Amino acid sequence: MRKPLISGNWKMHHNHFDAITLVQKLGYAIDKDDVEAVDVSVHPPFTDLRSVQTVIEADKIPLILGAQNCHWEEKGAFTGEVSPAMLAKLNVSYVIVGHSERRELFGETDEDVNRKVKSVLEHGMTPIMCCGETLEERESGATDTKVVGQVKAGLDGLDGATVAGLVVAYEPIWAIGTGRTASAEDAQAVCGLIRRTIADSFGQAAADGVRIQYGGSVKPDNAKELMGQPDIDGALVGGASLEAEPFAGIVQYRLKD
Ligand code: PGA
């Protein structure tokens, strides 16, 4: 059984004081039963990581620490960048790689994403590798080609056993931050395609192990239906992860009527 992973991507929101308050509130809202059923990660901005790490560890809050990005090099003359080694030192477990905002706004290529995926793994952390189509691509029928291409390129060179432990996030770009969600059927169709692509390239064991998240306007109201799909093993949540109540509501999707 794949344990679902629900991840809160805070993007460029919350300074380290806000971050401490939010994880403390999540500590009250999320209990032992929740994290037995679901892994929960939070991905604050870099400047908050140390504070969040300290609070999570000191107060034994059952949240897993994640980051939103990193460089692929271990160190060097890369002004403004943060290395995977630095994240590993903060007990970061999951690193989002190739989010569509990184690809679209900061020019990240499939090759960059692949380098980052490998580097995150080499430093003992798990990448959450994002893929997804634009509205134009969806409307022209190019969703499958785009997503399959991103998955193959992003995971290129890995072996099946490694891929089995990874997380892939399917995030249709037109659904991110827009309030529009892919229907559960459409999200399932693409997540199923991702799993078949992984089975073809890396074998059935890799496909059975890999966790596939859906992301794009996930809310407490639609989480249960999305999470009920056979190939959706979690959610990557942006807007609704910025406050404790909606995020806890998503984490507790299984309790909804
Ligand atoms: P959203 O963002 O939930 O605000 O749509 C999702 C994401 O970008 O990871």
Tell me, using a 6 A CB cutoff, whether residue 215 lines ligand 1.
yes
Using 50, 70 and 90 to split pLDDT, how confident is the model at 257?
confident
Q: Cα(235)–Cα(213) distance, rounded to whole angstroms? A: 5
If one counts every other C-beta atom within 10 angstroms of the C-beta of residue 90, the result is 14
Using the mean position of ligand 1's atoms as its centre, give its distance from the Cα of residue 130 in Å: 11
Average pLDDT value for residue range 192-196:
98
**Is residue 162 classed exposed, middle or buried when 0-12, 13-18 and 19+ CB atoms within 10 A define those classes?**
middle
Residue with tokens 């998955």: 151
Distances (CA, A) of 250 to 131, 137, 148, 222, 225: 22, 29, 28, 9, 11
Tell me, using a 6 A CB cutoff, whether residue 131 lines ligand 1.
no
Q: Taking Cα atoms as reference points, which of 176, 164, 71, 89 lies closest to residue 126?
A: 164
pLDDT, tens digit (0-9, with 9 covering 90-100), for 106-155: 999 999 999 999 999 999 999 999 999 999 999 999 999 999 999 999 99
Express as a percent the part of the chain with pLDDT over 90.
Answer: 98
Q: How many structural domains does the chain have?
A: 1
What is the domain extent for residue 125?
A: 5-255
Whether 1 has a pLDDT exceeding 90, the answer reads no
| Annotated catalytic residue within 101, 133, 137, 171 | 171
* Helix, strand or coil, per DSSP, at residue 251: helix
Q: Cα(201)–Cα(181) distance, rounded to whole angstroms? A: 29
Residue 99 falls in the annotated catalytic set: yes
Using 50, 70 and 90 to split pLDDT, how confident is the model at 204?
very high
Using the mean position of ligand 1's atoms as its centre, give its distance from the Cα of residue 172 in Å: 10
Q: pLDDT value at position 61?
A: 97
Using the mean position of ligand 1's atoms as its centre, give its distance from the Cα of residue 241 in Å: 9
Using the mean position of ligand 1's atoms as its centre, give its distance from the Cα of residue 171 in Å: 8
Average pLDDT value for residue range 209-226:
97
Tell me, using a 6 A CB cutoff, whether residue 222 lines ligand 1.
no
Mean pLDDT of the chain: 97
Using 50, 70 and 90 to split pLDDT, how confident is the model at 4?
very high
Average pLDDT value for residue range 241-251:
98
Tell me, using a 6 A CB cutoff, whether residue 236 lines ligand 1.
yes
| Annotated catalytic residue within 14, 71, 99, 123 | 99
Residue with tokens 């406050």: 243
Q: pLDDT value at position 99?
A: 98
Residue 13 falls in the annotated catalytic set: no
pLDDT, tens digit (0-9, with 9 covering 90-100), for 151-181: 999 999 999 999 999 999 999 999 999 989 9
Tell me, using a 6 A CB cutoff, whether residue 171 lines ligand 1.
yes
Average pLDDT value for residue range 55-71:
98
Task: Pick from 13, 180, 236 the residue to mutate for probing ligand 1's pocket: most ligand atoms within 8 Å of its CB.
Answer: 236
Task: Pick from 97, 105, 128, 218 the residue to mutate for probing ligand 1's pocket: most ligand atoms within 8 Å of its CB.
Answer: 218
Strand intervals (E) in the chain? 5-9, 39-43, 64-67, 94-97, 126-131, 167-170, 211-215, 234-237
The CATH number of the domain holding residue 239 is: 3.20.20.70
Residue 257 vs residue 256, higher pLDDT: 256
